Amino acid sequence: MRTGTRLALASALALATAMGPATAQDVPREDTVIFDIDRTIRDPGNFNWFTPGVKRLHGAHQAMWEPLFILNYETGDLEPWLATGADSNDDFSEWTISIREGVEWSDGEAFNADDVVFSVELAMGNEDLTSREAATVRAQVASVTKVDDLTVTFALTAPNPRFVVENFGNRIFGSFLVMPEHLWTGQEAASFAFNPPIGTGPYTFNSAATNRAIWDRNDDWWGAKTGFMDLPAPQRLIWLESGGEENRAQLLASNQMDAGQTVTLGTFEAMRFQNPNIISWKADLPYAWSDPCARQIEFNTTIEPWGSANMRKAVEAIIDRNQIVNVAYEGTTEASRSMFVQYGAMAPFIDAVVDAGYGFTPEGDVAAGQAMIEGEGWAMGSGGFFEKDGQTLSANITVNSASTELTRAVDIIIEQLIRAGIDARAVPVENSVFWGTALPLGEYELAYTWLSCGSVNEPWATMGRYTNESIVPIGERAPGFNNTGRWDTDATAAYTDAVAKLQGLAPGDSAAPALVVDAYQHYFAEVPFIPIVQASKLLPFNTTYWTGWPTEENNYNHPAHWWGHTHQIIHNLEKAN
Amino acid sequence: MAEVSAQTQAPEGEAKGRFNRFDNPWLNPKLLWGIGILLGIVLLGLIGRMLWNTELVFTGSTPLRLPPVGFENLRGQPGEAAFPLGTDGAGRDLLALLIIGAPNTLMIGAVASLIGMTTGIILGFSAGFIGGRTDDVIRILSDVMITIPPLLILVVFQSVYGDVSLLLMAFLIAGFMWQSPTRLIRAQVLSMRESGYVKMAQLSGASTAHIMFREMLPNLIPYLFGSFIANVTTAIVTAVGLEVLGLGPQRIPTLGRVIYDAINSGALIQNLWWWWGLPTALLAVMFIALLLINLGLDEISNPRLRKI
């Protein structure tokens, strides 16, 4: 309790200091929006988003850098932002993007095709730029050409009907962000810190420390001048690391925070009990929004015995998804039936897979799992764990300790595995270790992740992440976090070939479900990762100072306020009184 | 002082009051109360294990967030007799957690302190009695080690090492428990070395080990006990400190771990007072018991503190 109070106090103090010296102009609380971040800003002086680290979600890509397009999760439309439209040739191997006229960097320079071409070529020519979006562009683009100041064409390495939404549409978390050519030219791209940063957005950088970042409105924003949009209402935006569920809840309940990261159901109910102005996506139970990144167990297939498909399938059989839903998520989510997110647009593919007999059941079958383990030569030892050649069957599950949701789900999985005879234990690691080294370098045995995340309305984005094209040795960075478990068997090769046939299909092609099943059988034969449950995000918003938050009724877009589409949220905010 | 008060009390039954207390210095109420409470906690663990279903300490084995019997939680659910002290947010029974957790916490303290004291006794006696180079090495080592803040090192170690067992945690803490006893015992031994009975033993040809452990050690026993109990307290505080930061054993319940889970899951704002309150209260009782024992032992080793 003492630590909790102290932490809450520390956060409040941090907030006070955050607002203290920086408020030379004294921005009142009611003109400030305070967002929550769930991780430490390790290197607050570095704004090079091409390399890994917390360099975007502390406000940089929500307020300062604008995307070319924003995918609307509710309508499925790709809404133009810095661009005005995109077009492709017939076989989707060449794309042309038109850029909006009148866009300016906050230092007054014009934003144009030169910046786009420069940034894309930067990513194409430098293997050290390892962030997911840079790696994807590098893999997909063969060449990029400026047609005129407002038009750019991309020649692709392979036909891709989803090229724009995948790279420039904020489909998952972020988008490829265009950098100002006039400041980046001549810099060493991998080590350039880009500080102070500038962007085209309506907010400019004020200051940052490890636990917060502050952005102030630029009243000279190009969007207001050209009539693209009005200036957003908040004068100042702060991203603050709340540091855990208790502090998050206290800050929100006491109106010291406006948008929180995900909390558990009990905490959300308690916050509303104290502060009726707290809302979330849904007005009633389960309150939560399902984000597109369903939870799963990842296996490092280079570590025995998890190289064996039967051992992985045994774990799949043992896991009781219902219990995870009921205890860890308190009924706010549902069990995964396949590797796909359970959105309406994905239903044809999920149904096709389940009808073909490749669906996962919500209940566990411990006996079946144990039989599979015994089939691999293990025998139940006296300690209640399986043994073979004097070795106990163990499983170390790496989990990101940033969220109670994740650690609690892993606690339950561990309980289930231990009861079935596998000596499982959690390896909680800090957020930056989880994403910085554990996952990409393959330094884990099992991990609780959401790395199949990608598909929202078509199957390829998810399926394409587990092909053998992304396999690198352990210790090297898996490009774009794809196939971090290094699944590399004959089945992987067959899977890769089958998935390739999906890649060039236009959206809505009626042949897609059958092709999905064809590829899915190779995945299902070896389950390199186990889908567990859908992701539920119970994101609290505070309407004391600001209204206009995204909800099921006011659904201009989804509520994940650490994603790049948050520009829309900020533009929709209105002062409460 | 003792003589004066003894004299003033003399008229009312001098022999009885005075000699009983001198004969049994170990039977002082503070010591007895302290030991009684600690034994109670140990018995809670031993008997509780037999009477209560200890499987309920595992995640998902009970309904979530039930209050103790006679209370209601925020959702208006009443407590159930099947879980008399309530349940936590991950489906664990509080009574079972206390039954398993409290002796575990005590055990870490006792083991760490025992190892630390044993090391301290051996090193302290060697340094004080043998002297010379041995003394230099031990003294410098303990002086250096005493400046290192244990929690800092342990936090770093455990966050790198990950999940630790109870015993390993006790060993790690013991690594920071020997310096003070070493220094204090060395000082005591240095003064004792010059006393007559030690000189006599040396003259009669007794071995160093004999003099150290048979002649001198018995004189230090009350003092060593006091020191031991103080160390148990420090070790428990260190252990609970680590556990509350989430750095202790993960699946083995300890009081600190329960508090960590409570903090981490927003138990304060959810008003789940039984989740953090009961283990905190039990820890407080434990510390009070240790303090009473320490005060009692102090009176034994220091007769001037006795009320006669």
Interchain contact, B266 vs A249, CB within 8 Å: yes
Query: Would you kindly state where each structural domain of chain A is located, as residue ranges?
Result: 3-42+201-284+539-575, 69-183, 290-536
Provide the pLDDT confidence category of residue A253 given band limits of 50, 70 and 90.
very high
Q: Which two tokens stand for residue A53?
A: 């680290």
Supply the mean pLDDT for chain B.
Answer: 86
Q: Does A415 touch chain B (CB under 8 A)?
A: yes
Pick the residue from chain B with its C-alpha nearest to A273: B74
Report, in angstroms and rounded to the nearest whole number, the Rg of chain B calculated over CA atoms: 24
Q: Which residues of B touch A332 (CB under 8 A)?
A: none
Q: Which two tokens stand for residue A60?
A: 């940089």
Summarised one tens digit per residue, pLDDT across range A524-548 is 999 999 999 999 899 999 999 999 9
Res A1 pLDDT > 70: no
Res B14 pLDDT > 50: no
Summarised one tens digit per residue, pLDDT across range A344-364 is 889 999 999 999 999 999 999
Q: Does A400 touch chain B (CB under 8 A)?
A: no
pTM for the full predicted model: 0.81
Q: Does domain A69-183 have CATH number 3.90.76.10?
A: yes
Q: What is the pLDDT of residue B248?
A: 83
Provide the pLDDT confidence category of residue B266 given band limits of 50, 70 and 90.
confident
Q: What is the pLDDT of residue A429?
A: 87
Res A523 pLDDT > 70: yes
> Which of residues A6 and A325 earns the better pLDDT score?
A325
Q: Does A433 touch chain B (CB under 8 A)?
A: no
Interchain contact, B250 vs A426, CB within 8 Å: yes
Summarised one tens digit per residue, pLDDT across range A154-176 is 999 989 999 999 999 999 899 99
Q: Which residues of B touch A264 (CB under 8 A)?
A: 89, 265-266
Rounded Cα distance between A158 and A469, Å, is: 14
> Which of residues B288 and B210 earns the better pLDDT score?
B288
Interchain contact, B266 vs A245, CB within 8 Å: yes
Mean pLDDT of A17-27: 54
Sequence-separated contacts (24+) of B51-58 with Cβ below 8 Å? B52/B95, B52/B96, B52/B99, B53/B93, B53/B96, B54/B96, B54/B99, B54/B100, B55/B96, B56/B83, B56/B92, B56/B93, B56/B95, B56/B96, B57/B92, B57/B93, B57/B96, B57/B97, B57/B100, B57/B101, B57/B253, B58/A415, B58/B92, B58/B251
Provide the pLDDT confidence category of residue A87 given band limits of 50, 70 and 90.
very high
Q: Does A408 touch chain B (CB under 8 A)?
A: yes
CATH superfamily of B103-268+278-305: MetI-like (1.10.3720.10)
Provide the pLDDT confidence category of residue B308 given band limits of 50, 70 and 90.
low
A357's CB contacts (< 8 A; 6+ apart) are none
> Which of residues A225 and B12 earns the better pLDDT score?
A225
Query: Would you kindly state where each structural domain of chain B is located, as residue ranges?
Result: 103-268+278-305
What are the beta bridge partners of residue A97?
A: A86, A152
The top-level CATH class assigned to A3-42+201-284+539-575 is: alpha beta
Supply the mean pLDDT for chain A.
Answer: 91
Mean pLDDT of A245-267: 93
The DSSP secondary-structure symbol of A486 reads -
Res B16 pLDDT > 70: no
Cβ-Cβ contacts under 8 Å between A and B: the total is 94
Q: How far is B54 from chain A (nearest CA, A)?
A: 14
Interchain contact, B269 vs A415, CB within 8 Å: no
Lowest mean pLDDT among A110-124, A502-516, A539-553, B31-45: A502-516
Q: What is the pLDDT of residue A81?
A: 96
The top-level CATH class assigned to A290-536 is: alpha beta
Res B229 pLDDT > 70: yes
Provide the pLDDT confidence category of residue A275 given band limits of 50, 70 and 90.
very high
Note whether ipTM > 0.85 here.
no
Determine the 3-state secondary structure of A43 from DSSP. Answer: coil
Please check whether residue A460 is in contact with residue A496, taking contact to mean a CB–CB distance below 8 angstroms: no
Interface test with B, best of A411, A431, A538 (most B CBs within 10 A): A411
To the nearest whole percent, how much of chain A has pLDDT over 70? Answer: 96
Summarised one tens digit per residue, pLDDT across range A429-473 is 888 789 888 999 999 999 999 999 999 888 999 999 999 988 989
Q: Which residues of A touch B266 (CB under 8 A)?
A: 245-246, 248-249, 263-264, 266-267, 270, 404
Q: Does A31 touch chain B (CB under 8 A)?
A: no
Sequence-separated contacts (24+) of B85-88 with Cβ below 8 Å? B85/B274, B85/B278, B86/B272, B86/B274, B86/B275, B87/B62, B87/B63, B88/B64, B88/B258, B88/B261, B88/B262, B88/B265, B88/B267, B88/B272, B88/B275
User: CA nearest A228: which of A67, A103, A86?
Assistant: A103
Interchain contact, B268 vs A273, CB within 8 Å: no
Res A143 pLDDT > 80: yes
